[in-house]
A and B are shown apart, each in its own frame.
Chain A
Amino acid sequence: MQNAKDSFYMALRTRLVAINPERTMLLRGAVRPGILVEEAEAPMSQPPSDVFVLRWLGLGIDTDISTSMAAEQCEIVYQTCGSQSFGGLDRGRALSEMDEELTAMIEPYWTPKLNYAATPPGTMLTKVFWEEPSFAPIQIQRDRLLRTASVIVYSYQEQGE
């Protein structure tokens, strides 16, 4: 299951770099694409703005088929306060831009499954695939607009996983 989670994140990260190379963040002293896995970073009191945060929640396993299949719920949280040059008045536009980027990042709804624990990452036999995202209504917290999108990510459990 971890390989599916890693592959999903790396796919989105690679696609984000292609869609909007300007969306970067400074985290742990390094400039990185503006997407992160919450559970792989230091605990933060408030998720960073203008960044996609992947949060893994639910898990279901179907063992009634020849190869067991795992379904994991990934919540993608993103928020913005707009830009300084507009005094935050462009926060609606900034959130719409992130909505569009996420919609573009999610397609196509599959990626090869790789084992990133190996160096170089090893390609596995099956693919990771997922459903269309379901977008929750915008949450307004004073000057901050926050949206959560939920995606169910499926993967077959291979031998050795």
Chain B
Amino acid sequence: MTDTAARNPTGSARMMADALLRSMTGTTALLRVTGANTDTNMLELGLAATPFADVVVSPVVMRKLRPSWQEGGESKWELIVSATSVEQQVNALSLATAQSLFAMTLSVTVAEQDYLIESIASNEAFGQIYVYRLLLREARQQSV
């Protein structure tokens, strides 16, 4: 029997990754991205409050990394993000690449806890990225 379905065969890794993320208690993460602001002088000096927007990516899975991090003692986490979801948001925001989206991201919120992005990696199969892996560090409490 032959699979004659008209779907992209290279998308199987993505579909499997999404299914696995969902089944592993896949949750939602909010990427806090900066909005457009024309008053660059005030913005660059930290005088004007930057407008933020929360971009939702789902499914994602968090896993805590081994406690080897020393500076300040903050825990490090790895956030595994569905590439399908990232691509949808990249298209919705009319960005060129996922890297542009992550470059605009100031912090990541998962379960009301903020994290800062330390580094970004991705896994791919057949030339297509199926998950992004964000190395995160817990953000400290900011004054209200």
Q: Which positions in A face B, CB cutoff 8 Å?
A: 6, 9-10, 13, 26, 28-30, 32, 36-37, 39-40, 42-43, 45, 116-117, 121
A10 to B107 alpha-carbon distance, docked (Å): 27
- A-B pairs with the 6 shortest C-beta distances? A40-B46, A28-B34, A42-B106, A45-B118, A6-B45, A29-B104
Contact in complex: A32, B47 (CB < 8 Å):
no
Which of B41, B42, B50 has the most A CB atoms < 10 Å from its CB?
B41
Query: By DSSP majority rule, is chain A's interface helix, strand, loop, or mixed?
Result: mixed
Q: Which residues of A contact B16 (CB under 8 A)?
A: none
Contact in complex: B107, A32 (CB < 8 Å):
no
Which of A6, A26, A36 has the most B CB atoms < 10 Å from its CB?
A6
B116 interface neighbour in A30, A37, A40, A43, Cβ under 8 Å: A43
Q: Does B119 contact A (CB under 8 A)?
A: yes
Q: Which positions in B face A, CB cutoff 8 Å?
A: 33-37, 40-47, 50, 100, 103-104, 106-107, 116-119, 139
Closest residue on chain A to residue B95 by CB atoms? A29
Closest residue on chain A to residue B42 by CB atoms? A116
Contact in complex: B118, A9 (CB < 8 Å):
no
- Contacts A45-B118, A116-B47 hold; do A28 and B104 have CB atoms under 8 A apart? yes
B46 interface neighbour in A10, A39, A45, Cβ under 8 Å: A39
Q: Which residues of A contact B34 (CB under 8 A)?
A: 28-29
Q: How far is the CB of A23 from chain B (nearest CB, A)?
A: 15
- Contacts A28-B50, A28-B104, A29-B104 hold; do A40 and B44 have CB atoms under 8 A apart? yes
Q: How far is the CB of A27 from chain B (nearest CB, A)?
A: 8
A45 to B72 alpha-carbon distance, docked (Å): 13
Contact in complex: A30, B40 (CB < 8 Å):
yes
